Structure 1
Amino acid sequence: MPEKSISRFTRIPTALDDLVLIERRRLGDERGFFSRFFCTEELPDFGIGRIAQINHTMTQAKGAIRGMHFQKPPHDEAKFVSCLVGAVFDVAVDLRPQSPTYLRWHGEILSAENARSMMIPQGFAHGFQTLTESCELIYLHDKPYAPGAEGGVNALDPKIAIAWPLPVAQMSERDRGFPML
């Protein structure tokens, strides 16, 4: 009997051009659940088909902010970001000068429970704030990290005015030192 093709992903558009929220379909029973995390055959039109690097991060403190990070061209990268433990307010800022959504931001709650991921295209800065203690995220990148191409914007920049849901509990000196626009 031929295998039936079932999409395991739901694409949810956002208000920012090319920024997409992905919801993974879970198949569950009394043991737990199964979900497909990524598939190049089902997700290439979402902006990432080749995975060049996978990163895993753990942030202990609730209210901590990491970001807003990006890679400069020609090393600009697309990221597929998911929360595996806890919950975060995940944010992307459109830094593409030609875009109609230039300098606008969009945030979504990603959590272990809601099985959502953010597909962040090239030309966006990315960061998050932890909503619980001990949050773990996994990032799938379409290009490897290039130290000389690293960039960032200040997550507290009033020109962007990200509405972080919690008071800022922690930020690295590096992230606090990113320039304001």
Structure 2
Amino acid sequence: MKFIPAALAGVLVIEPRVFRDERGLFFEQYRRDEFQANGVTADFVQDNYSVSAKGVLRGLHYQVAPRAQSKLVSVLRGSAFDVVVDVRPASQTFGKAFTTVLSAADRKMLFIPEGFAHGFLSLEDDTEFIYKCSDVYSPEHERGIRWDDPALGIPWPKIGIEYILSPKDRMHPLLKDLHGPR
């Protein structure tokens, strides 16, 4: 596996070694010793799986302490425009976003440490998304920020259809309303 630092400290793009032959393909999605050797010490305790139609936008979500989560995200089928935003108030990169495309074609993964919001836009029908979490889902610790907050400057791709969001994701606050004035 290749562990590539992203523009936000602690966020990693992970490129697994994919073996292909006439039978199909094989790769290691997670191997604790390799992750630890590359500074990822998160203890994953929950796996989540979603299937999304083209245009579904999920996010931007995160959990706060004491139930904050690190995540390892990847696409099993289809493709997604993936977004990570630094929501750590004391961070020099607070409010900065990192974006990439995750797809079943290249099997690239993304490690997202605690203190970052995450979301994605499904670019194809039946996009299958899986993510490992370092803590269980906790509704009372769940938070979110608006996907279309102009302060984030996220270059969401135009895909020819209107995005599909849950009512909850439409109601998230803007970044400036998260922690008060900086």
Normalised by the length of structure 1, the TM-score is 0.91
One-letter code of the match for 2:105? E
Q: Does 1:137 align with 2:129?
A: yes
What is the identity percentage for the equivalent residue pairs of Structure 1 and Structure 2?
38
More off after superposition, 162-171 vs 23-32:
162-171
**Paired position in structure 1 for 2:8:** 16
Aligned pairs for 1:52-71 within 5 A: 52-60=45-53, 62-71=54-63
Structure 2: stretches of 5+ with no match in the other structure: 176-182
TM-score by length of 2: 0.90
- Whole-Å Cα distance in 2 between the matches of residues 146 and 20 of structure 1? 25
Encode CA deviations 1:13-51: one digit per residue, 9 max, x unaligned.
Answer: 111111111011111211111100101111124434421
Q: After TM superposition, which residue ranges in structure 1, 4 or more long, deviate above 6 angstroms?
A: none
- The Cα of 1:144 is off from its aligned counterpart by 1.1
Unaligned 5+ segments in structure 1 are 1-8
**Which of 163-172 and 65-74 deviates more?**
163-172
Contact kept, 8 Å, 1:27 with 1:33, in 2: the verdict is yes
- After superposition, what is the alpha-carbon deviation per residue over 1:116-150, rounded to whole angstroms, capped at 9, x for unaligned? 01100000000001111111100101111111101
Q: Distance in 2 between matches of 1:147 and 1:17?
A: 27
SS in 1 for 2:169: helix
Q: CA RMSD in A?
A: 1.2
Q: Deviations over 1:53-82 (max 9, x none)?
A: 00001112x122100000011111100000
